[in-house]
Amino acid sequence: MNKLSLLLFSFIFLNITAQSKITVLKAGEGTPIPSASVSCNKKTVGKTNAQGNLEFRTKCKQVDVTAAGYYEEEAVVDKVMEVTLSKTDPKTQSIEGVIINDKSDPLALEILQKVNDSYQKNSPQSLDSYSFKSYEKISLDIDEDSIKHYNSYLEKRFDSLRQLPEKVQTAEKKKDSLESVNVMKLMSSSKLFLWERASEFLYSKKYGEKINILDNRVAGLKEPIYEMMTLRSNRNRIPREIREENRTLYRFFLTDTIEIEGRQNYVIRFRQVDYKQPVNKRKFNGYLYVDTETFGLKKIESNSKKKSEGTITSIWKPIENKWFLSKENLKIKMGSTVFGNTKADNKKVKDSAQENTQKFGNYVFMVADYFDFTTNINENKKDFAGYTMAVKNSDGKTLETFRTDSLTAREKITYEKIDSVGKKYKLDQKLNAFTGLIKGKLRIGQVDFDAAQLIKYNKYEGIRVGIAGKLNERFNRYISPDAYVAYGFKDEGWKYGAGIDVKTTLEKNSFFRAEYYNDVMAAGRFNENLWNFKMKIMNSGIDLKNDRFYRYNGFKLAFENDLSNALTLNISAKKDHEEATFDYNFMNLGQKFENFASQITLKYAPKSKNIMTPSGKFTYEQSFPEFYINYEQGFQSFGGDFKYSRFDVLAQHSFKTKAGVTGIRVYGGLLAGDAPIWHHFAMNGLGSGKDSFNFNLTSFLGFATMEGGKYYNDKFAGFYFTHRIPWYFKTFGKNTSSFDVVYRGITGDMKNPGHHGFDFQKLDHFYQEIGLESNNFLGTPFNLGFFYRVGHYSTLPFKENFAIQLKLNFLGF
């Protein structure tokens, strides 16, 4: 019976700690290193044989590899591993650095191109359906090797400081000093940050993707950081190191083939282009394993140039010949904790055994395991209902059932200590203030301030400063009042408004809204209803050269509801008093009118991904295509002066092919009936007009060479086409640059231009401009574009047809 129990225990142990094989080679030569030591938590698990191989079992996620005369390396534990060690002799390294050609191996590049071309075919989302779970743990801490040294240094430092005479300090300085000491002591036994998350991933070709956060806990916080839950990995995307647009940042070398679980894999090493003479650094930045049959990515390890700065490893596994991510491991340096002697420190501190300045690196650590893979699942529509991501539980009580790696003693105490620190220092509020910036909000206590309203500029108001605040969920989870006030220095006018939102549920975006406003707007602005923050920012400069504005004040009632993850509906009714601010006479009726109208807006974004947070819906991944439709109806009732129908539509899409990345935006509008010019459509010129050089900021729907405020139509159709040439090159910094070919066009007509008594033109021919845009110009975060007007509206002077345009790269196409 005892023998049977021992056999059973051995069988269980062998399955829990699966066998791994590691091969240790000399960098640059590829020859084996015998007697290389492999250790886990400072305990040796074995040494390599004459062929540089070692088979071992361990529960560790990562092992250290050392050999006499070589720099130490780390390796994430897998079934098959290969590690290259660089020699410690700087002279030898310099010679090896010269030997390595500063040019990628053509065979390696050919394999990588096949990896990119085969990515969709190898992706799990090419299956009909699947499901799996994940467990992730992220922490911020001192490097494990430095903890003992840190504690020793801290103890000696405190002993030395106790011998100093007590200084006379203000209450504030004394408080700061005590806080500093408390943080130092905290780091001696606890991590600075710890977050665990367990998730379930469902996918169906019919219903799309659904991510359920099964449980979640962040040390020091009462509520989870919902925006942080959306952080992405290499799960559904090609790693940045091997994307075509980043190919020029690295040099790739095909070095070997290796068998893993009965499948042959190419081994490709890579390094950064500025990585010439790596003395005391890694020879390569990382390596790739590529399956020779499917060209699926098996494994990638990407390291910093300096070993102390971090590493990222992702490992995939084949299931039904599709490559599922099975493991991720990350370690990145995030600054240092620095101790230095102040002027008040006396000779006793300076003469201590410690150096005057001590640095301890702070690192972000992440481990992620993916498991319970199932294909061809039972597809139930209810399982995919709601937003893409849903939070099932967030108190951490069920995390133990999902952990693939038990918490260390240091991690367990982190929850105890950091929870008390979080409560004392109100970490929830401070982190929520940071996440608010993602949505363009400045969060201070119970109020969210709109960052986009702080300062603006247009030709009519000049510089406009304002403040807009909205009470958030800390005030009330269902009711949210808001107000704003602004002042234009050029028109010397005040603008203001107030409103209130009343939610009907906390499960999704659904609320009633009532508001009052007194403001100005450019005549003929295209609807921006349901646009996101980035789109509005891009279009905010559309009136820099246009002073045709009108004033409006009135009341509005609205209801907004997300009918599904992809479809949003907004319906509203308004009663406004409207007045032109420029010399205007509509149909000899003057420039002041009453307007009563209703409006329906639909937004359809079938591939965008959302999550519901306490502060509202958050779109964490905007994906194309997208469609926006507005229909406004004016009534001659409730005091309204006009009956009209206004319809506009916007569609945008972006896709990638072998020929490059293409972006398309088409839009148009139609006005039926009689209404003042501001209910028509401006053609969105950004130019200065004749005798002026055209330099402007980009806009979502604008034309760089068209004069601002010149053209108006009651019907129009326009498009914006951009294509990124698949030629990526390095200029300055760590970004790649490329060129976009841009083509914009618009045409339309106006039925009765004579009804509007002011100077403008209808645009009834095809207006076109072509351009070339340099992305990340000279390594900066800006795109610089050069545009030229062609076709019917082109003129003889070159200057009138030419424009230069600047755009922030992060705004997209």
> Where in the chain are the domains?
15-88, 104-147+190-425, 504-811
Q: Pairing mode, if any, of strands 208-218 and 389-391?
A: parallel
205: which residues sit within 8 A by CB, 6+ positions away? 125, 127, 128, 129
Q: Is the peptide bond before 614 cis (omega within 30 degrees of 0)?
A: no
Please tell me the predicted confidence (pLDDT) of residue 540.
Answer: 87
**Quick one: pLDDT band at residue 804, thresholds 50, 70, 90?**
very high
Q: Higher-confidence residue: 367 or 715?
A: 715
Q: What is the 3-state secondary structure (H, E, C) of 633-663?
A: EEECCCCCCCCEEEEEEEEEEEEEECCEEEE
pLDDT of 233 strictly over 50: yes
Please tell me the predicted confidence (pLDDT) of residue 707.
Answer: 92
pLDDT of 349 strictly over 50: no
Q: Alpha helix locations (H) across 324-408? A: 347-350
Distance from the first to the final alpha carbon of the chain: 71
DSSP 407: P
- Phi, psi of 488, deg, nearest 5: -100, 125
**Quick one: pLDDT band at residue 221, thresholds 50, 70, 90?**
low
Rounded Cα distance between 229 and 138, Å, is 11
**Quick one: pLDDT band at residue 163, thresholds 50, 70, 90?**
low
Q: Of 335-349, 672-686, 722-736, where does mean pLDDT reach its minimum?
A: 335-349
Q: Of 272-281, 568-577, 709-718, where does mean pLDDT reach its minimum?
A: 272-281
pLDDT of 136 strictly over 50: yes
pLDDT of 428 strictly over 60: no
- The residue among 137, 162, 129 whose CA lies nearest residue 411 is 137
- Phi, psi of 811, deg, nearest 5: -70, -15
**Quick one: pLDDT band at residue 125, thresholds 50, 70, 90?**
very high
State CA 624 to chain mean position distance.
16
Which pair of structure tokens corresponds to residue 239? 């790693």
- Phi, psi of 265, deg, nearest 5: -135, 135
177: which residues sit within 8 A by CB, 6+ positions away? 169
Rounded Cα distance between 115 and 296, Å, is 6
Q: Higher-confidence residue: 647 or 287?
A: 647
**Quick one: pLDDT band at residue 28, thresholds 50, 70, 90?**
low
Rounded Cα distance between 531 and 628, Å, is 9
Q: Higher-confidence residue: 658 or 484?
A: 484
Rounded Cα distance between 298 and 122, Å, is 11
Pick among 3.40.1000, 3.40.50, 2.40.160, 2.60.120: CATH of 504-811? 2.40.160
Please tell me the predicted confidence (pLDDT) of residue 454.
Answer: 92
Rounded Cα distance between 503 and 331, Å, is 42
Compute the radius of gyration of the chain from its Cα atoms: 31
Model confidence over 624-633: pLDDT tens digits?
Answer: 999 999 999 9
Model confidence over 661-691: pLDDT tens digits?
Answer: 999 999 999 999 999 999 999 999 999 877 7
Please tell me the predicted confidence (pLDDT) of residue 97.
Answer: 41
- Phi, psi of 657, deg, nearest 5: -130, 180
- The residue among 80, 79, 78, 69 whose CA lies nearest residue 37 is 69
380: which residues sit within 8 A by CB, 6+ positions away? none
Please tell me the predicted confidence (pLDDT) of residue 787.
Answer: 96
CA angle 205, 209, 213 (to 5 degrees): 155
**Quick one: pLDDT band at residue 98, thresholds 50, 70, 90?**
very low
Which pair of structure tokens corresponds to residue 571? 């319906």
**Quick one: pLDDT band at residue 4, thresholds 50, 70, 90?**
very low
Residue the block writes with tokens 């700690």: 17
**Quick one: pLDDT band at residue 497, thresholds 50, 70, 90?**
very high
- The residue among 66, 64, 3 whose CA lies nearest residue 33 is 66
- pTM equals 0.82
Q: Mean per-residue pLDDT for 143-165? A: 63
Rounded Cα distance between 798 and 149, Å, is 69
- The residue among 411, 399, 407 whose CA lies nearest residue 198 is 399
Please tell me the predicted confidence (pLDDT) of residue 102.
Answer: 67
Letter for the amino acid at 632? E
Q: Higher-confidence residue: 434 or 251?
A: 251
- Are residues 134 and 371 in contact, defined by beta-carbon separation less than 8 angstroms? yes
Rounded Cα distance between 564 and 567, Å, is 5
Class of domain 15-88: mainly beta
**Quick one: pLDDT band at residue 259, thresholds 50, 70, 90?**
confident
Please tell me the predicted confidence (pLDDT) of residue 276.
Answer: 55
**Quick one: pLDDT band at residue 279, thresholds 50, 70, 90?**
very low
> What are the counts of helices (DSSP H) followed by strands (DSSP E) for the chain?
12, 44
621 forms beta bridges with 609
Rounded Cα distance between 464 and 637, Å, is 35
433: which residues sit within 8 A by CB, 6+ positions away? 442, 443, 444
Model confidence over 292-341: pLDDT tens digits?
Answer: 999 999 999 888 766 667 788 999 999 999 999 999 988 887 766 666 55
Letter for the amino acid at 766? F
Which pair of structure tokens corresponds to residue 187? 């780091």
Q: Higher-confidence residue: 426 or 93?
A: 426
Which pair of structure tokens corresponds to residue 781? 């975060």
Mean pLDDT score of the chain? 83
Q: For the chain, give the percent of residues with pLDDT over 70.
A: 80
Model confidence over 445-460: pLDDT tens digits?
Answer: 889 999 889 999 999 9
Letter for the amino acid at 673? G
Model confidence over 541-595: pLDDT tens digits?
Answer: 899 999 999 999 999 999 999 999 999 999 999 999 999 999 999 998 999 999 9
Rounded Cα distance between 317 and 297, Å, is 9
pLDDT of 270 strictly over 70: yes
Model confidence over 376-416: pLDDT tens digits?
Answer: 999 999 999 999 999 888 788 899 999 987 888 888 888 87
- Phi, psi of 534, deg, nearest 5: -65, -40
- Are residues 83 and 75 in contact, defined by beta-carbon separation less than 8 angstroms? yes
- The residue among 327, 365, 158 whose CA lies nearest residue 235 is 327
